[in-house]
Structure 1
Amino acid sequence: MKVVALKLKDEDGHIDYLRQAIIDKELGMIGEFPKREKNRQISILSERIRNLIDEEEFEGLCLFRFYENITIKDLEVKNIEIGQRLQIGETVQEVTAIGKRCFKECKLIQSGETCNLFMNVIFTKIIKSGFVKIDDKVVSLPSTDRFISNK
């Protein structure tokens, strides 16, 4: 697994694509506005799901306004568990939630279709601060490890 995109929303509401980001244990992604909840500091989506969302013509309420902070190539959400830790670049992040709540007024949900965000978004809290860059490896940590070298 590796990082293929980094995004944040600035104070003006623009989504910026970054080559690298500073991710802080207390503040989440530096420059992100508004700040996310403490247990949902970072949002993560697989590259496969991002491509599906971008290529299809869905009418989901949040598909066009949702953005993930980190897009990861070869991420299989079905293999991720709440409480699992991931080393992403220099950071260590703990998975706190899997899936995004849907809005009842969403046309996609009302039509009975399944939203690609429903069980494919991961939210994390930061355990160890550091830099994350495009092409950084993503490593699932054994529960006994604090972190491993990125080299």
Structure 2
Amino acid sequence: MKPHVVAVNISEKKGTIKHPVPEISLKIDHGIQGDAHAGNWHRQISLLAQESIDKMTALGVKGLTPGIFAENITTADIELFSLPVGTRLQVGEAELEVTQIGKECHHHCQVYRQIGMCVMPAEGIFAKVIVEGTLRAGDEIRILP
């Protein structure tokens, strides 16, 4: 299959699990309208592959749904963590630039506390908005030259 968006997720308050929404609106120098982590910084949007979530499910973690790792965009059929910083992605109408691979997990999430590990710090990526647009589940993802 072609790389695509599985779900788009937001949280209205920091420190809460993100939940899927029908669509998200991306703005330059901001990120996602209505998301608590939006702002003019390098981690405007977080992405995590469904395949990474499936690894955690295979380890016995129950109830993993899109947004539970605080990712804004859940993807499929693209190995996000292998993309170099600076990679540009066409996601639906929008264009993103990869700004960070992984992150330090300062306050271990519920999943980490349950099984002693979490996939987001190693396999999640962050991006900033280069071209504005609206994203929905099913939108295609293309790596730009």
The two structures have a TM-score, normalised by structure 2, of: 0.78
Between Structure 1 and Structure 2, how many residues are aligned? Answer: 135
What's the C-alpha RMSD, in Å, of the aligned pairs? 3.0
Distance 1:137 1:33 in 2: 25
Equivalent residue, structure 1, for 2:4:
2
- Measured after TM superposition, the shift of residue 54 of structure 1 is 4.7
- Measured after TM superposition, the shift of residue 22 of structure 1 is 0.5
Distance 1:87 1:57 in 2: 34
- Measured after TM superposition, the shift of residue 116 of structure 1 is 1.9
Aligned pairs (5 A) from 1:59-98: 66-98=69-101
Aligned pairs (5 A) from 1:1-151: 1-11=3-13, 13=16, 15-36=18-39, 38-54=41-57, 56-57=59-60, 66-103=69-106, 115-142=118-145
- Measured after TM superposition, the shift of residue 55 of structure 1 is 5.4
Seen in structure 2, the aligned counterparts of structure 1 residues 76 and 133 have a Cα distance that, compared at 3 Å, is same
Equivalent pairs: percent with the same residue? 30
- Measured after TM superposition, the shift of residue 37 of structure 1 is 5.6
Question: Which structure has the larger Rg over C-alpha atoms?
Answer: 1
The two structures have a TM-score, normalised by structure 1, of: 0.75
Partner SS state of residue 51, structure 2: helix
- Measured after TM superposition, the shift of residue 100 of structure 1 is 1.4
- Measured after TM superposition, the shift of residue 26 of structure 1 is 2.3
> Which stretches in structure 1 are left out of the alignment for 5+ residues?
59-63, 143-151
- Measured after TM superposition, the shift of residue 8 of structure 1 is 0.3
Specify the code of the residue in structure 1 equivalent to 2:90.
Q
Partner SS state of residue 81, structure 1: coil
- Measured after TM superposition, the shift of residue 139 of structure 1 is 0.2
